[in-house]
Amino acid sequence: MLLIGGAAAMPWPGRAQQTPAKKRIALIIGNASYSEGIGTLSNPINDATVVAEGVRNCGFRLVSGDIVQNAGRSAMMSAIRDYVAELKAAGPEAMGFFYYSGHGAARETGGNYLIPVGEADELNEALWDDSVELDWVMERLDALEAPSVVAIDACRNVLKLPEAQRSLGGGEAFRGLRRTAGGAGERNMFLSFATWEGETASDGRADDGNGPYARALGIRLNEPATTVRDMFEQVRLDVLEQTLQRQEPMNLSRLQRRSSDIKIGSWTRDPSESSAETSRYPLRHALIIANSYSDARDLSLPNVHHDGEIVRSALASAGYETVYLPDGNDRETRDQVDLFVQRLDAAGPASVGLVYFAGYGTALDGENVLLPQGPIPRSKSELRDQGIWISDLVAQMEAASSQAIMMLVDCGRPFSLGGEKGEDRGFSESFGKDRVVIAYADAPGTYHPDGKAPSLFADAFARNVVTPDRISIQSVLRRVNDDVMHASEGQQRPWFQTSLDLPIYFRADLLPEEAGEPSAEDSSPNSPRRYKKR
């Protein structure tokens, strides 16, 4: 669902001179009454109605006079042709908004399809011929001089293809919509999909009235106007919060520079009147601790700050609010963990937290211990006094009101107790039992001999977590394991274990060429914060 802000008849005082006079033309389609063979939906008509109310508030005129509902293929294509014709006649100063709510799918051999009501009544190969190809819509919009917004609120549930025994979740034939290729075929457009490519969007329960995407958009459309990109970033965050990060909208900007300041929202309201939360506490938090033990002479770790920095940079690019603590002693480490838990509590149950620790660690009497910055212990008694027990940290973080905790422990570097290696070799397998992922750079009972070299684990994690596609933490760690095993020729084998109930995903922010703005590392609100010692 996409919207662009427009002019209202009675702009708030002082804003009238900024209200654009461009023609705003919208087409809104909601399909719900599918056959049982396709699968009926509860809320697309309600969703289309909410969006229609919002776009009217933003100064748009519906080309059909009202929403187009439960349309067959011919009715959908006729409405789209009328919409394109009106945009063309209005000229380059016009602005278009197209929203579709209903079933949609991507074909294995290519192409995204919007599924009409009526002709398409079975999930078989004929469905593609009976549906409307999204590329057909895009080609017609691409031929126009006016900028346009395309919002697709589709992929509402799992569509099963009996003859191939495939589904959205397990096969290729009816996966969720894919992102389109970009470039010349999407000139001067802003694209929004209600969910990430290849995934399904929630239709909401029948008594909800709306799906989460439509609900979020309906709220934001009635807020004071802001740029299209900022508007849909708020919608994305709203949906993530409503769905505990299970559904994430995908926004792609192909707007030309002259259209990059397009506004969306109500022009009748002063920004000071905003009732919705226009900024929120970030949902994704990371604490990076990297200890070099610089005073330990032969046991110092000269590359550990580099390891911490590449992990921090990767997580910031993946949308995490990062705090970096280099060389944290016992008190500083515990204080930062306390603050980390407070941030998760403030963000609420949709939040996720990740802690990365690089430095020394070992197992003592079956318990895993991390060494804060400071003197290296020379005996087990000193280790008990100076060490920080991983089980204590995990238990503290588990008490936060977040949906998941991830702890990456990049130790596996040998050190001596009293001149000899301690009884326990590497870590044990103990880990948190509730909503926790824990990963070790070296499998329990092992360590890698060259502790001074740059971390293969940190490098592999940073490389695999920055991806334009959504990837789960389990997939990231499996790839990390493979990369480290390959790079070390089998000498280092990472390990992880999880007790997550819900999938936790990573993805990179929009690429600069997609966003049309400076890179996320230059301009993101998630830029790094270093802990400064007093």
pLDDT at 514: 39
Alpha-carbon distance of 303 to 186, in angstroms, equals: 45
Residue finishing a domain among 241, 273, 305: 273
Task: Report the relative pairing of strands 367-370 and 388-389 from DSSP bridges.
Answer: antiparallel
Do the domain assignments include residue 381? yes
Quick check: is 255 in a domain?
A: yes
Beta strands 404-410; 436-440: pairing state? parallel
Q: Are residues 433 and 302 in the same domain?
A: yes
Would 1 be classed as within a structural domain?
A: no
What are the strands, taking DSSP E only, across 102-224?
104-106, 112-114, 132-133, 148-153, 189-193
Q: What is the crossing angle of helices 134-142 and 73-90, to 10°?
A: 10
Distance of CA 490 to the CA centre of its chain: 33
Q: Looking at the structure, tell me whether residues 196 and 289 fall in a common domain.
A: no
Mark which of 250, 273, 296 sits at the end of a domain. 273
| Claim to verify: residue 511 and residue 397 sit in the same structural domain | yes
**Same-domain pairing of 113 and 254:** yes
What's residue 306's pLDDT?
A: 96
**Residue 44 sits in the same domain as residue 89:** yes
Residue 4 included in any domain: no
pLDDT at 503: 74
Q: The CATH number of the domain where 94 resides is what?
A: 3.40.50.1460
With respect to residue 160, please indicate whether it lies within any of the assigned structural domains: yes
User: Are 326 and 408 part of one and the same domain?
Assistant: yes
Burial of 285 (0-12, 13-18, 19+ CB in 10 A): buried
Kindly tell me the sign of the dihedral angle through the C-alpha atoms of 79, 82, 87, 90: negative
Q: Do 305 and 423 fall within a single domain? A: yes
- Six-digit token pair at 184? 């010349």
Q: pLDDT value at position 517?
A: 37
User: Do the domain assignments include residue 10?
Assistant: no
Contacts for 136 with CB less than 8 Å, ≥ 6 apart: none
**Rounded distance between C-alpha atoms, residue 78 and residue 73, angstroms:** 9
As beta bridge partners, residue 406 has: 354, 437
DSSP state of 322: E
Structural domain boundaries, residue 523: 284-530
- How many CB atoms are closer than 10 A to CB 504? 21
pLDDT of res. 130: 86
| Residues 42 and 181 grouped into a single domain | yes
Question: Running along the chain, 534 residues long, what does each successive block of 10 average in pLDDT?
Answer: 30 38 86 85 92 92 95 95 95 91 80 83 76 91 89 67 33 43 59 77 60 88 82 84 82 72 72 55 90 89 95 92 95 96 88 94 85 90 90 90 91 62 52 79 82 91 87 93 95 91 72 36 37 33
**pLDDT value of residue 333:** 96
How many domains is the chain partitioned into structurally? 2
Rounded to whole angstroms, how far apart are CA atoms 42 and 211? 9
CA-based max dimension of the chain: 85
The residue from 224, 253, 273 where one domain ends is 273
End-to-end C-alpha distance for the chain, whole angstroms = 49
Is 222 a domain residue?
yes
What DSSP designation does 17 have?
G
318 shares its domain with 425: yes
Q: Do residue 223 and residue 357 come from a single domain? A: no
Residue 7 within a domain = no
Asked if residue 338 and residue 246 are part of one domain, the reply reads no
If asked whether residues 258 and 328 sit together in one domain, one would say no
